[in-house]
Amino acid sequence: MGEPLVGRMREFGTTVFATMTKLAVETGAINLGQGFPDTDGPQRMLEHAAEAIRGGFNQYPPGPGVPELRQAVSDHRKQWYGLAYDPDGEVLVTVGATEAITAAVLALCEPGDEVVVFEPYYDSYAAAVAMAGAVRRAVTLRVDAGRFTFDPAELEAAVGPRTRAILVNSPHNPTGTVFTREELEVVARVCQERDLIAITDEVYEHLTFDGVEHVPLATLPGMRERTVMISSAGKSFSVTGWKTGWICAPAPLVAAAQTVKQFLTFTASAPWQLAVAYALREEMAWVAAQRAALEAKRDRLAAGLEAAGFGVLRPAGTYFVQTDIRPLGFADGLELARRLPELAGVVAIPTQVFYDHPGRGRHFLRFAFCKRDEVIDEAVTRLRRLGGTARPAV
Ligand SMILES: *Cc1c(COP(=O)(O)O)cnc(C)c1O
């Protein structure tokens, strides 16, 4: 029969998260690879989901999403960002941010169109672009003054006559960078000068640290009309398994995404939608407490990684910290990630897998800190053994 998988998907094997999580399970290592919290979201929100199920809210909800959630999303955008989106026509509920991104790319990009992404990028972007038959152009985020940022000239150079869209993820996974207003102004200028659509992945919108503010690209002058703004309950409310996300955009862009979305999944699961509508209204104080707790976890893991000998790039948001492995005498993050369970009983993610130019991310390892303190402490204790191991020149 030969290789059954179509050519355009062949570069995408099993995701690195599945591979590394399997390695953690097989070896009994602590999993600081995949970014899921090991504690639950707000209790009342969980009860709302259970009540929705018991109350018979179990049949197909409307395609765009249940009205309660669309209204809650619209109110949340208005309250937090001063952005007005009509719950009827400008809000679309999706099966997580992942489906929102894929539906937007499939709906807006013709085969051969180009999509600009910032590398290292969240892995589903590349797959979504490939499914559309489009072509990605990666702009590399490089370390400058302790954070990852981009060179405006490289962004401009990445845009060509076939460029249709730019995918912007801030707060950014896997680097932890939160784009500043000045950086977003560069993106906004390029979008407007070159007539591009911005697809923004803002799933970590509420998880920023040290008082750093998340600025949605759509709030910049001239950007609301060309931005597909994507969020998700998974990260904000620590329910990554609920897969409930949403798109906010002008009606023609939402209609385009919905045309595709209705044949991917038709609609998102009903019970979670009611629970998330409740949470967006009533649990933002819980989110604020969660943000503070995560900031403390970032500091805890960062200090531990520094003590273990890693070069640490302190993130301004998200669940993740990037480390430079060279101070420990290692050079290749992929090789170290494979050996880390045996060397130290910990699993991390080699950042180079998120690049089109892997050499540029070869010396980085990503660790997740959205874990209980005792898990972080045990991981750090184990990682401190690394300094004592032979320093192979890998
Ligand atoms: C977790 C994550 C997603 C996926 O969100 P879901 O709502 O689970 O689909 C998308 N983008 C980034 C950057 C993420 O970290």
Q: Which atom of ligand 1 is nearest to the CA of 101?
A: 10
CA 344 to centroid of ligand 1, rounded, Å: 28
The pair of structure tokens assigned to 315 is: 């993130």
The pair of structure tokens assigned to 103 is: 């539906």
Specify the pLDDT at position 389.
56
Span between the terminal Cα atoms of the chain, in Å: 39
Specify the pLDDT at position 394.
47
CA dihedral 239, 244, 245, 251 (to 10 degrees): -160
Place of tokens 């409307």: 62
Q: Which atom of ligand 1 is nearest to the CA of 201?
A: 11
Contact criterion met (CB below 8 Å) for 158 and 118: no
pLDDT, tens digit, 9 for 90 and up, residues 260-316: 999 999 999 999 999 999 999 999 999 999 999 999 999 999 999 999 999 999 999
- From residue 243, alpha-carbon distances to 119, 121, 237, 273, 385 in Å are 24, 20, 11, 10, 37
CA 150 to centroid of ligand 1, rounded, Å: 22
Would you say the pTM of this structure is higher than 0.75? yes
Mean pLDDT of 319-326: 98
Specify the pLDDT at position 13.
81
Q: Please give the order of strands across the beta sheet that includes 197-201.
A: 91-94, 245-248, 227-232, 197-201, 163-169, 114-119, 135-140
CA 203 to centroid of ligand 1, rounded, Å: 6
Q: Is the pLDDT of residue 2 over 80?
A: yes
Cα–Cα distance measured from residue 26 to residue 349, given in angstroms and rounded to the nearest whole number: 16
Instruction: For a ligand 1 pocket test, name from 16, 95, 122 the mutation site with the most ligand atoms within 8 angstroms of its C-beta.
Output: 122
- From residue 317, alpha-carbon distances to 116, 204, 313, 354 in Å are 22, 7, 12, 18
